[in-house]
Structure 1
Amino acid sequence: METDCTTPAPLPPGTRLLHIGPHKTGTTAIQGALFAAKGRLPEWGVEFPAHTRHPMEAALAACARPAMMGDTAPTGRHWGRLLEQVAATGGRTSVISSEFFADADGDATIARIVEELGGDRVHVLVTLRPLVKIMPSQWQQYVQNGLRMGYADWLEHMLRKPPYEKPNPSFWHRHRHGLLVERWARAVGPERVTVVVVDDRDRGGLLRTFEALLGLPENLLQPVPDTANRSLTLAETEMLRNLNVEFRGNGLPDELYSRLVRGGAVLHMKNACSPEPGDVKIVTPYWAARAAAEIGAESAGRIAALGVRILGDPALLSALPGHPEPGPAEPRIAPEVAARALYGALAAVASAAGGGAPARTVHQTSSKDLLRVLGHRCLKRLGRR
């Protein structure tokens, strides 16, 4: 094992750096920064071959995983197109990043992905954060994909109810980090695996690590604001979770959920509303934080025994929060936030019906006016139908 807290040496020129996540470990920040710098990277012999910030469909197709609830299923064309873009980079270093590669199931699938990306040119990069910080973020993300279970019950199932696979079997496949690194090390060899332990106290540290590995000048990669990827507050998540209960209880189609809820209400709520300091956060109870820390320590030990390169402090993976467990708090959704979410759903309906969007932007118009205009348009169109 090589553990290094100093600046890492660049990877060999021509490397195909495969960043596999997993989820909630800074993947969106890296993808956004790389995509924003896409035009400048070739000056330094580096390419970001994807045509979008995150080639999610290609990764899902490569791993034979389903799309998110109600989304169009990815096909081999998505993966084939990304492979063509990677091949076009020739002998230059290229970066392929998707947290959904962590969902690859089985040695045969991983070996095929590695071979198709370039075989011995592939270097696998895994970014890791403490489980105690990942769990609340993943729960609210699962709620955005239709989950109806509350956080306390979800923790019970994930940590106390063997085989710990319900309601989200993907969670431990992604986040038993020792097993995740081990699967990919078997495919490429430990000498071609780098594990980066993210330190949340160093906000730019992950970007600087990528710059060093790719041989880029410092500060070329800059953070890109992405409100659409922010986590929901407890109140927002609970509002959505209760909507999921109603949605499923009435047997509505998944496609409608994708368009109106996730792509309409939730997306607009995230873009238009920023969390306030007084908003109730998703808090992990101490028993669950302690269990997560023990699993993190086990994963750190397993990774250390593999002989892969580790950048950062593995002890962070088993760190417990330094504050006592707070008492229960009642999450309350602000009327403005609820209005924005409702507007997002109405705007999605209007767009699907060909009604377009209001002439003024949402930042120029009050929620009351937006709701009145969109509601009138939708009702009028529905009446004609």
Structure 2
Amino acid sequence: MASPSHRVYLHIGLPKTGTTSLQALMWHHREAMAADGVLYPGAERGEQHRAIIDVHNTRYKAWNEERVPGAFERVVAELENTDKPASVFSTELMAPASPEEAQQVLSALSFAEVHVVCTVRDFARQVPSVWQENVKTRHRTTYDAFLGALRSGELNGITRPFWDFQDLPRVLRTWGGTLPPERVHVVTVPPRGASSRLLWERFAPVVGLDPENYSTEVPQENFSLGMVETELLRRINVALDKDFPWMRYATTVKDTFAAKILSRLPDPSPIRVPAEDYPWICETAQRFIDDIRDRGYHVVGDLDDLMPAPPREGEPEPSTMPADSELLAVAVKALARYLQFRAAPRAAPPSAVPAPVRRLSHTLRGLSEQYPQLMTARRIYSKAKSQLRR
């Protein structure tokens, strides 16, 4: 039975800060973590996401399939009844919570000493990453229009979902406002070019684990696209008929063409922030850093990691719209690879997937079109569905 000496670490996001990688790693090593005294709850990978959908069902009402009711109770019961000294509850679905929604979770965990953990990243890397994720979920907004909307400071259909998940000071106040600042842990994502293990080496000790005891070579589900590949996909989104079913899009366009073709093309050009956007992006990053310092949160890593690096001298100005010749060259390569992919021998058809899983998959695909920041949950459910097929 857990007690106030039991620690529950709420890993609340932010999306696009390595959360999927950390969750995959912890799920893969959950038995080893338990042996080291840290519980990673849930009977399968989607349970922690489902728990937040359950307790915040007005926010995520479109996700209310038959396995959601009771999921929060199940996770809380597992946390309360464990004999481990610590537990990790990790889902970025917590990030946009209102103070009232956060208090629902915190009150239910009153039997334990709650800690909040938030992974954060250089804002100049967050912005293009979110735009790319939007395009991968059928959005049609150009990179230039996306940047312009954020630059304007206005709340609209483009910017509101972004800030719901990415307003770091608000997220930390919402979840950590009633906790001692030393129990709010800000883990900075290492700068580009750092060791792929470094984020885990920063995160693991916060939750009471020795990172050296765990391999980070575990299956991952993320994929990324370059600037030209993302713009090509955006134009495909524009060209596709609006009645093209979302489930067919997710299967054919996103999970096949984007993930297995576009993401594997050679020499992708990174999506970067233009010089004209550096001032407001740096101001935002500095505001985040100042808020973290002023509130005295426990920082793991270096706050300087959150300050965007200036453009390298002599580096060409990044384009927010590739030339048509670049798009044509990538389109031809992608088409050739796609034809080869389609011509390859196919595995035997999988066994039937249970109806509840099919319904859940349909629900997640629909909602992820509206809220692309939540694609992590859909990927986890897709993996669970594949395991059931086997």
Which TM-score tier does this pair reach, normalised by the shorter chain? 0.7 to 0.9
| 1:281 matched to 2:278 | no
Q: What secondary structure is seen at the aligned counterpart in 2 of 1:212? A: helix
The offset of 1:126, in angstroms, is 0.7
Q: Could you tell me how far apart the structure 1 residues matched to 2:349 and 2:242 are?
A: 24
The offset of 1:294, in angstroms, is 0.8
The residue type equivalent to 1:142 in the other structure is N
| 1:190 matched to 2:181 | yes
Identity percentage over the alignment?
24
> 1:262 maps to what in 2?
254
Q: Could you tell me how far apart the structure 1 residues matched to 2:61 and 2:252 are?
A: 17
The normalised TM-score by structure 1 is 0.75
Q: Could you tell me how far apart the structure 2 residues matched to 1:194 and 1:282 are?
A: 29
Is the alpha carbon distance of 1:42 and 1:320 closer, same or farther for their aligned partners in structure 2, counting shifts above 3 Å?
same
Q: Relative to structure 2, which stretch is displaced further, 222-231 or 278-287? A: 222-231
CA contact (8 A) 2:8 2:115 kept: yes
Is the alpha carbon distance of 1:207 and 1:181 closer, same or farther for their aligned partners in structure 2, counting shifts above 3 Å?
same
> 1:365 maps to what in 2?
none
The offset of 1:123, in angstroms, is 0.7
Q: Could you tell me how far apart the structure 1 residues matched to 2:292 and 2:203 are?
A: 20
| 1:304 matched to 2:293 | yes
Q: Could you tell me how far apart the structure 2 residues matched to 1:80 and 1:180 are?
A: 24
Is the alpha carbon distance of 1:16 and 1:353 closer, same or farther for their aligned partners in structure 2, counting shifts above 3 Å?
closer
The residue type equivalent to 2:87 in the other structure is S
| 1:211 matched to 2:204 | yes
> 1:318 maps to what in 2?
307
> 2:130 maps to what in 1?
138
The residue type equivalent to 2:106 in the other structure is V
CA contact (8 A) 1:47 1:89 kept: yes
Is there any run of 5+ residues in structure 1 with no aligned partner, and where? 1-11, 355-385
Q: Relative to structure 2, which stretch is displaced further, 78-87 or 39-48? A: 78-87
Q: Relative to structure 2, which stretch is displaced further, 70-79 or 295-304? A: 70-79
Q: Could you tell me how far apart the structure 1 residues matched to 2:126 and 2:10 are?
A: 21
The offset of 1:27, in angstroms, is 1.0
Is the alpha carbon distance of 1:62 and 1:91 closer, same or farther for their aligned partners in structure 2, counting shifts above 3 Å?
same
The offset of 1:88, in angstroms, is 4.2
Is there any run of 5+ residues in structure 2 with no aligned partner, and where? 353-390
Per-residue Cα deviation, 1:155-213 (whole angstroms, up to 9, x for no partner): 001112x4243324221122221222111122434232111122223532221223322
Q: What secondary structure is seen at the aligned counterpart in 1 of 2:264? A: coil
Q: Could you tell me how far apart the structure 2 residues matched to 1:71 and 1:240 are?
A: 30
Task: Indicate which of 133, 148, 152 corresponds to 1:156.
Answer: 148
> 1:35 maps to what in 2?
27
The residue type equivalent to 2:334 in the other structure is V
CA contact (8 A) 1:47 1:95 kept: yes
> 2:386 maps to what in 1?
none
> 1:173 maps to what in 2?
164
Per-residue Cα deviation, 1:298-336 (whole angstroms, up to 9, x for no partner): 111112222221222223322333424535453432545
> 2:334 maps to what in 1?
337
| 1:243 matched to 2:243 | no
Q: Could you tell me how far apart the structure 1 residues matched to 2:187 and 2:117 are?
A: 7
The offset of 1:139, in angstroms, is 0.6
The residue type equivalent to 2:190 in the other structure is D
Q: What secondary structure is seen at the aligned counterpart in 2 of 1:229? A: coil
The residue type equivalent to 1:301 in the other structure is D
Query: Following superposition, which runs of at least 4 residues in structure 1 exceed 6 angstroms of deviation?
Result: 70-74, 350-354
Per-residue Cα deviation, 1:206-241 (whole angstroms, up to 9, x for no partner): 212233223323412322355530212223322321
The offset of 1:62, in angstroms, is 3.5
The normalised TM-score by structure 2 is 0.74
Q: Could you tell me how far apart the structure 1 residues matched to 2:64 and 2:169 are?
A: 31
CA contact (8 A) 2:5 2:112 kept: no
Q: What secondary structure is seen at the aligned counterpart in 1 of 2:190? A: coil
The offset of 1:149, in angstroms, is 0.5
RMSD over equivalenced CA pairs, Å: 3.4
The residue type equivalent to 1:274 in the other structure is R
